Amino acid sequence: MTTIKETIKSFLPTSVVQMLQRNRARVRLKRRLRPFAKLSPSQVFTQIYERGLWGSAPEGAQKFFSGPGSHESRAVDCYVDAVQRFLTSLEIKPDVVDLGCGDFFVGSQIRPFCEGYIACDVVESLIVYNKTKFNSLNVEFKVLDLTRDPIPQCHVLFLRQVLQHISNKHIERALPKLSSCCKYLVLTEHLPPGDPFTPNVDIGVGPAVRPELNSGVVLSSPPFNLKAMEERTLCEISMDDGRIRTTLFRLGEHSQNKRFFLSRP
């Protein structure tokens, strides 16, 4: 049986229907993010993990869980394969920094292809947990807020599904440091299922992501306008709620034979 709402919608232009849908999505997202509005990024992401807002590991297999995008094989396998091929194409094993390392399920699979490895997250309790769980991997785990703290120099910087959870103001604050700390930036972002979409619609810091607003983080588009010497897609996979795209940016002309010696644990 057709409802009154459906009948009214059938008479409206498609553009009007889409606008109304976007407005409703903004209201829902704003409501979801309201409890986090006055918290620091550290407090926000600590709450996300403590409350299991990205889900939980099957049968409580681990204390921290970074969500299905960091565990589902269709998302992880494509990423790990593409990153491994890129890393092994370099003349030397690179020293790397992993910003927003989360529960390190993904990072642990690319660790063997790197020389020095610093894995960073803004959640202190998560970093303490990772230090114990991954003690045998010779990784330096470090508490770091990319919007406030210095980023260690490295050859390759991994930033996987982090920017999608923070505001444009926070991204703009971090971008100069991202641009100057590495030769290669490997950026992974959650995007809407199809094109066209509106890049970089602003949201608050929290568990939500921009595809809910038919948007996604695109660093080469306004207001960020990242200028790279090279930009190419390493991999892209379809998920139930959009696409996960990994992009390689070559940012500097550091020699591949130059080693950025990272501090060791």
CA 261-262-265 angle, to 5 degrees, is 135
- The pLDDT, as a whole number, for residue 262 is 46
Tell me whether strands 198-199 and 215-216 are parallel, antiparallel or unpaired.
parallel
* Each residue's pLDDT tens digit, 145-197: 999 999 999 999 999 999 999 999 999 999 999 999 999 999 999 999 989 99
Alpha-carbon distance of 58 to 145, in angstroms, equals 29
**What percent of the chain lies above the pLDDT cut of 70?**
86
Query: Which residues are CB-contacts of 5 (< 8 A; sequence separation ≥ 6)?
Result: none
Q: What are the chain's domains?
A: 39-250 (3.40.50.150)
Residue 21, Cα to own-chain centre: how many angstroms? Answer: 26
- Taking all residues of the chain, what is their mean pLDDT, rounded to a whole number? 88
Give the per-residue pLDDT at 63: 84
Q: What average pLDDT score do residues 75-97 get?
A: 96
Looking up tokens 């010779």 gives 138
Which residues neighbour 99 within 8 Å (Cβ) at sequence distance 6 or greater? 120, 144, 146, 151, 157, 158, 159, 162
**256 and 90 Cβ atoms separated by less than 8 Å:** yes
